[in-house]
Structure 1
Amino acid sequence: MTRPLRIGNASGFYGDRRAAVREMLDGGPLDVLTGDYLAELTMLILGRDRSADPSRGYARTFLAQMEECLGLAAERGVRIVVNAGGLNPAGLAGALRDLAARLGLGTAVASVEGDDLLSRAGELGLGTPLTANAYLGAFGIAECLRAGADVVVTGRVTDASLVVGPAIAHFGWGRDDLDPLAGAVVAGHVLECGAQATGGNLSAFDEHPLEQLLHPGFPLAELSADGSCVITKHPGTGGVVDRDTVTAQLLYEIGGPRYAGPDVVARFDTITLTDDGADRVRISGVRGELPPPTTKVCLNSLGGHRNEVTFVLTGDRIEAKARFARAQFEAALTTRPAELVWSTVGVQRPDADTEASASVLLRCTALDPSADVVGRAFSGAAVEMALASYPGFHLTAPPGNGSPFGVYTAAYVPQDAVPHVAVLPDGSRVDIEPPTVMRALEEVPPGQSAPAHPGGQGSTVPGPTRRAPLGAVARARSGDKGGTANIGFWARTDPAAAWLAAVLTPARVRELLPEAADLPVTVHPLPNLRAVNVVIDGLLGRGVAASARFDPQGKAVGEWLRGRTLDIPEELL
């Protein structure tokens, strides 16, 4: 098949807009509709669900969406590929078959499994986690579609595989079609987070009419046989697709220029973006390399229990009140938790015109293996201070019990140690063999990313400078991978991009972000995108579920850094 394949997305996470499936099916022509339901934290949530009830472990909201839209998808001739199977793709596939029968539909349902390594965790050196799921590639999805599946549900596949699999089935690619596979990976990476590619969470949101961004449409890719694509959205839907929105999503939650997956390594330093009309951006030129011999495994373990109390400090003498509250509260604790983390939100504002703006929040987060240590004894100690503490004492919430928290870690196992099974609509099972030719993954050394933008890596702009926020010349998008944060910065012009690459060294990043002073910082230039990607290991501690940080997933680190000031060439301003 040579005609473009129209692939849309209707979910970026478990809890995304429920109406998006219907919106995408009604909004215009599609060949395939995908949905990404699995974040690292979601696997922990589903693991706890499965522990309580072995028949669970999948995204139940997807089943509710299909109750409403399965018939519509059949009427429109749209095939559906989702990872909503989570820890129990067979269970979700069975529930979908039951639903289709009840609705009088002849929907052919297939599934992909093999990613769940929990029963072999000890054998593979993965310890004793609550969940252990390898990231599978796209060829199992393609096998299901070639066998006539209308709906394919998977467990833990790479997010981009939801797009790559349909492309393999449609265009007939093999494992040696590295450049087309890599192009589809890039398209999948843009689509996977839904409305983040159509104006959601955009640094430049204030450059667009407010009404345009209130209800952004979800993205779709018109994918061609060579792996190039056009990112767009259904006509008449909200939001915007331009080079800003596509670049922002390309930089989201990545590391270096080599973006590794089990089928191919996509070189993000070869991506070319060009305008292709209103709400249309073409992606081309993506080069692919051999996949690595290992695949990533998402491990979630129970880390203990946590609780939190938040004191409100109002008016003047904020620092003195904070010292008083900390000392009094810690003295009242009969057992000190294993970890006690204090942080403040806000700063003292003299002569504030509202009580809220005159207040600062003092947070105390406790983590401990014991539920009792961080339970009512912990939060109750704060309540007992109510009539015996600093002036104006009050809390933001009543006392509560502690709750379990999880710890995410990544591991790697040989690809040939992971079963990859396509369960076809007729129930037959097909083993998907791993790649036969692989190559160890190597980092691209800074300065070797190509092609370079005019002015060259490390160029500077002569002339006078002025103190200004970094955001005056840079847009940003940040995110998380476990305890690691990444911040992608990009510029609108080549001179500004060259200046960014020269100025944002690891030392300068640590200066702008004091939390990273003692942490490993790597800066990856991506001159083809007029961008640099900053990776900070350990900024988010042990990951979102265990983090006591105010922004545990690092979603706003980029906006914080855009507000930091430094000397910027006036020519760029």
Structure 2
Amino acid sequence: MTQPTPIRIANCSGFYGDRVSAAREMVEGGPIDVLSGDWLAELTMLILARGRMKDPRAGFARTFLTQLEEVLGTCLDRGIRIVSNAGGLDPAACANAVAELAARLGLNPVIASVAGDDLTGRLDELSEAGVSFANLDTGEKLADLGIDPITANAYMGSWGIVAALDRGADVVVTGRVTDAAVVVAPAAWRFGWAPDAWDQLAGAVVAGHIIECGAQCTGGNYAFFDEVPGIEHVGFPIAEIAADGTSVITKHPNTGGIVSVGTITAQLLYEIAGPRYPTPDVVACFDTIHLEQEDPDREGPDRVRVSAVRGEPAPPDLKVAINYLGGYRNAVTFEIVGLDARRKAEIAERTLFAAILDGRDAFDEVDVRLEGTLTPAGDALDAPVHLRVSVTDRDAGRVGRRFSNVATEMVLASYPGLHLAAPPGDAREFGVFWPTLVPATLVCQEVAIGDERVAVPGPPTASQPFEPDLPEPGPSHAPPTEATRPVPLGRLVGARSGDKGGNANVGAWARDEETFAWLDAFLTTSRLKALLPESAPLTVLRYRLPNLRALNFVIVGLLGRGVAASTRSDPQAKALGEELRAVTVDVPVRLLD
């Protein structure tokens, strides 16, 4: 029996603000069947909500329309389906805007929107039904906060999109679905997968996870960036998904970047926790993934085959992302150079709070960080260090110019060389991210296509709640004594890091089995805390992925109450992996020669 041709699903967006020309590049660069994209990071929902407070029409990602204007006619001519989560908080409004754009272009596509994820108006009803909305990280109950959420969206799966495609939609826009759903759904639709085709669905989830962040799997943000040709304009990815759920990740020819086992491994480690990756469609087992570089002479360059992925029944609960306004914050940053930098920082901090009535106690929260490299004597000789003082409070006046002006008043009256990294600013409102769960049986997707409204139930689920994987702290015994040489860890090991609510993850991988055997024994939970001192007081979870020659660490609470509330200079932990790779460690000489 002849196997169906794989479906070629292209990505043209990894976040709200990604390269606008990517849609045109993917449509014009070669054959594709589906144009997909991800616009909805956790932070994006808060951004859209704040925009909608000022303009009721601002509930979706408007850059999607800019991209669509360049390609809609060509996509209709070639039969390319468009699947996007750019609907954000208002997929119906996004669909209407697409219809207006199409009319202006003289086109007549079939447009569908997929909703049902917005629970903001249902929180009381769901609470009465017994949903506690307990915070997944802290266990706190939402009702105990006494706050009014501005968004509450369940992460929905693929079957609403499948229903829209079944009904002939040329363009499908959704609200909050999982990032991978815009890839899983076209594959499930094309091949007619059943909702319990766990292995096929898991394979598509993995393919979706790989391409959901756009060029981040084709050489962008890659640890070994010197190996990336044409890094100035990296091409976006394509997933060629077969009927059995296996896939090949590639990109259009003659575009910048590289698709290698390394770039795919890096992206697989992005924003995950344990090996079992739960989604509303299936639990994908990342510890079963097999990666293989295809022969460039036979199959062509930049092709990595992804196979052997196993799946388990979907969890009975859906993740819900709630955002609420947490108050106001402000920060001042002192740039400190030269001798005695540590003592200068101590003087700056002491002087700043001495000039404020009630000092630190004047604010709900205070965070002070000295960032940069000091000599053992406390000097900043090669580059400045930065003393960043952040304050938050429910009262905007307390953290406004009344606070930041104090730093300005210190300029001529404190340590030598005092200057600020930026002019004093005013208070800014911030949001708090609250991850929680809701039973999948209480939420249903709804497809709107023309005058038709279709309720789409979720897939069958496991009978028991999803149990996260148990972390493995690593061996407690000392590695064998052998000749070593001090080198930066990153000379041997790649890393990628990111955010999940208030937690950060950093995945580290080796490029051969011998190096992984050393890494597995060396990089324990306690060792990571020593190498990244910021993580030392926090809970760190370590997971093994030997099939990828990788370890993944989740640092619980590193980002506080989420990206929008974090006071770190890198609030999304994007550079955490590079911080780890920069640390000098003793590496066996046999791995270096």
Please state which band the TM-score falls in when normalised by the shorter chain: over 0.9
Alignment-derived partner of residue 451 in structure 1: none
Deviation at 1:356, TM superposition (A): 10
| Alignment RMSD (CA, Å) | 2.2
Deviation at 1:466, TM superposition (A): 2.7
Deviation at 1:434, TM superposition (A): 2.1
Alignment-derived partner of residue 342 in structure 1: 368
Alignment-derived partner of residue 107 in structure 1: 109
CA distance in 1, matches of 2:556, 2:476: 24
Alignment-derived partner of residue 250 in structure 2: 232
CA distance in 2, matches of 1:78, 1:216: 23
Alignment-derived partner of residue 438 in structure 1: 462
1:348–1:535 Cα change, 3 Å: closer
Deviation at 1:230, TM superposition (A): 0.3
CA distance in 2, matches of 1:275, 1:447: 29
CA distance in 2, matches of 1:462, 1:77: 62
CA distance in 1, matches of 2:386, 2:526: 31
Q: Is the 8 A contact 1:463 1:571 kept in 2?
A: no
Partner of residue 434 from structure 2, selected from 386, 404, 409: 409
Alignment-derived partner of residue 190 in structure 1: 210
Name the SS of the counterpart of 1:64 in structure 2: helix
| 1:165-564 superposed matches below 5 A | 165-209=185-229, 212-276=230-294, 277=296, 278-334=301-357, 336-348=362-374, 358-424=383-449, 426-439=450-463, 440-445=465-470, 463-564=482-583
CA distance in 1, matches of 2:476, 2:291: 19
Deviations 1:352-406 (A, max 9, x none): xxx9955332211111111111111011111222222222222222222111011
Deviation at 1:349, TM superposition (A): 7.3
1:457–1:15 Cα change, 3 Å: farther
1:231–1:120 Cα change, 3 Å: same
TM-score (ref. length: structure 1): 0.94
Alignment-derived partner of residue 147 in structure 1: 167
1:337–1:145 Cα change, 3 Å: same
Q: Count residues in correspondence.
A: 560
Deviation at 1:204, TM superposition (A): 0.7
Deviations 1:197-227 (A, max 9, x none): 0000000112344xx2111000001100000
CA distance in 1, matches of 2:310, 2:385: 50
Alignment-derived partner of residue 50 in structure 1: 52
Q: Is the 8 A contact 2:183 2:207 kept in 1?
A: yes
Alignment-derived partner of residue 21 in structure 2: 19
TM-score (ref. length: structure 2): 0.91
1:120–1:384 Cα change, 3 Å: same
Q: Is the 8 A contact 2:274 2:471 kept in 1?
A: no
Deviation at 1:468, TM superposition (A): 2.6
Deviations 1:509-543 (A, max 9, x none): 11212112221111111111111111111111111
Report the AA paired with residue 267 of structure 1.
C
Deviations 1:319-371 (A, max 9, x none): 22212211111112236222121222323579xxxx99553322111111111
Alignment-derived partner of residue 69 in structure 1: 71
Deviations 1:464-513 (A, max 9, x none): 23333222321101111011111111111112112222222211111212
Alignment-derived partner of residue 33 in structure 2: 31
Deviation at 1:550, TM superposition (A): 2.2
Q: Is the 8 A contact 1:511 1:517 kept in 2?
A: yes
Report the AA paired with residue 346 of structure 1.
G
Q: Is the 8 A contact 1:18 1:65 kept in 2?
A: yes
Name the SS of the counterpart of 2:420 in structure 1: coil
CA distance in 2, matches of 1:25, 1:305: 43
Deviations 1:11-58 (A, max 9, x none): 000000011011111100000011100011101001111222223210
Q: Is the 8 A contact 2:284 2:312 kept in 1?
A: yes
Deviation at 1:109, TM superposition (A): 0.7
Report the AA paired with residue 89 of structure 1.
P
Report the AA paired with residue 19 of structure 1.
S
Q: Is the 8 A contact 1:349 1:358 kept in 2?
A: no
Q: Is the 8 A contact 1:459 1:498 kept in 2?
A: no
CA distance in 2, matches of 1:245, 1:458: 32
- Unaligned 5+ runs, structure 1: 449-455
Name the SS of the counterpart of 1:123 in structure 2: helix
1:144–1:457 Cα change, 3 Å: farther
1:526–1:461 Cα change, 3 Å: farther
CA distance in 2, matches of 1:441, 1:328: 51
CA distance in 1, matches of 2:85, 2:573: 24
Q: Is the 8 A contact 2:12 2:35 kept in 1?
A: yes
Deviations 1:531-558 (A, max 9, x none): 1111111111111111111221111111
Deviations 1:93-140 (A, max 9, x none): 011111111111011110100000000123334443111000000010
Identity %: 55
Report the AA paired with residue 396 of structure 2.
A
